[in-house]
């Protein structure tokens, strides 16, 4: 009884404004935000880290669950020069119609338009591409100890993943998060497995496989809404 009373008193010390700040940053539930702030003794940054870890744990637990519902999201950038289609899956039609889920889909389409990823996740990157990246990185390892050389090459490959794999890209609307962080928080919030299955990005004038480049390929800058 004493422990419960202590927890209640501690939670009452967390202001609603602070809870709202954390909720706006993470999209986590109100009570989850309050508990994280209690655990972090009111430290907003520490509470965000706590929620991100819990989101990652929830993502791991739900990863094996079947996700066959969802939506096809679309985005056409101002000027009609860049367009995106993405399929994002969840477990139930109820979540597929949820406003928070739809907001997540919109954020992902914007990310794809702005950051131009080539793959959803790292295991989709062909070995031939990774071999080229490792070969390029090896030039900077000459004369260095094997352990150092290995770290340089691993760093080069990780940078490639962070640039071209959607889940590892920095979120264009919040540079403290990756898209995988955003996905993990949404899984924790909605309680279902969510998968970014596939996407296509179109840009007017882009070079297609097997075709010659157009005379002048347009440069299109996409800024977050």
Task: Find out whether 189 and 203 touch, Cβ atoms under 8 Å.
Answer: no
Nearest CA to 156 out of 175, 140, 170, 143 is that of 140
For residue 192, with 0-12 CB atoms within 10 Å meaning exposed, 13-18 middle and 19 or more buried, which class applies? buried
Determine phi and psi for 80, rounding to 5 degrees: 60, 35
Lowest mean pLDDT among 51-65, 127-141, 166-180: 51-65
Q: What distance in Å separates the CA atoms of residue 151 and residue 6, rounded to the nearest whole number?
A: 48
Lowest mean pLDDT among 71-75, 121-125, 155-159, 205-209: 205-209
Q: What distance in Å separates the CA atoms of residue 110 and residue 172, rounded to the nearest whole number?
A: 8
pLDDT digit string, tens, across residues 6-36? 344 465 678 888 888 887 777 666 777 888 8
Average pLDDT over residues 63-83: 88
Q: How many CB atoms lie within 10 A of CB 130?
A: 15
pLDDT band at 135 (very low <50, low <70, confident <90, very high): confident
Q: Please tell me which residue, 152 or 1, carries the higher pLDDT value.
A: 152
What pLDDT shows up at residue 216?
54
* pLDDT over 90 at 76, yes or no: yes
Q: Please tell me which residue, 216 or 125, carries the higher pLDDT value.
A: 125
Q: Kindly report the average pLDDT of the chain as a whole number.
A: 83
Residue reference for tokens 């309680």: 191
Nearest CA to 112 out of 137, 88, 136, 143 is that of 88
Q: What distance in Å separates the CA atoms of residue 50 and residue 46, rounded to the nearest whole number?
A: 6
Model confidence pTM above 0.75: no
pLDDT digit string, tens, across residues 158-212? 999 999 999 999 999 999 899 999 999 899 888 899 999 999 999 998 887 766 6
Determine phi and psi for 171, rounding to 5 degrees: -65, 130
Written as six digits, the tokens of 134 are 């490792």
């Amino acid at each position: 009884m004493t422990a419960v009373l202590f927890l209640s008193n501690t939670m009452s010390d967390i202001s609603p404004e602070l809870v709202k700040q954390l909720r706006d940053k993470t999209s986590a539930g109100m009570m989850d935000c309050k508990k994280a702030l209690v655990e972090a003794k009111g430290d907003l940054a520490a509470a965000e880290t706590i929620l991100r870890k819990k989101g990652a744990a929830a993502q791991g637990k739900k990863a094996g669950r079947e996700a066959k519902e969802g939506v096809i999201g679309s985005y056409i950038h101002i000027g009609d020069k860049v367009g995106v289609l993405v399929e994002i899956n969840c477990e139930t039609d109820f979540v597929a119609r949820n406003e928070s889920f739809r907001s997540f889909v919109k954020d992902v389409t914007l990310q794809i338009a702005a950051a131009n990823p080539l793959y959803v996740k790292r295991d989709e990157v062909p070995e031939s591409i990774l071999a080229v990246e490792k070969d390029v990185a090896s030039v900077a390892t000459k004369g260095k100890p094997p352990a150092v050389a290995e770290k340089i090459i691993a760093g080069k490959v990780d940078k490639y993943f962070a640039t071209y794999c959607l889940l590892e890209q920095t979120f264009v609307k919040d540079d403290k998060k990756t898209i995988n962080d955003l996905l993990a928080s949404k899984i924790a919030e909605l309680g279902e497995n969510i998968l970014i299955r596939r996407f296509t990005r179109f840009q007017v004038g882009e070079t297609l496989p097997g075709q010659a480049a157009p005379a002048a390929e347009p440069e299109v800058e996409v800024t977050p809404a």
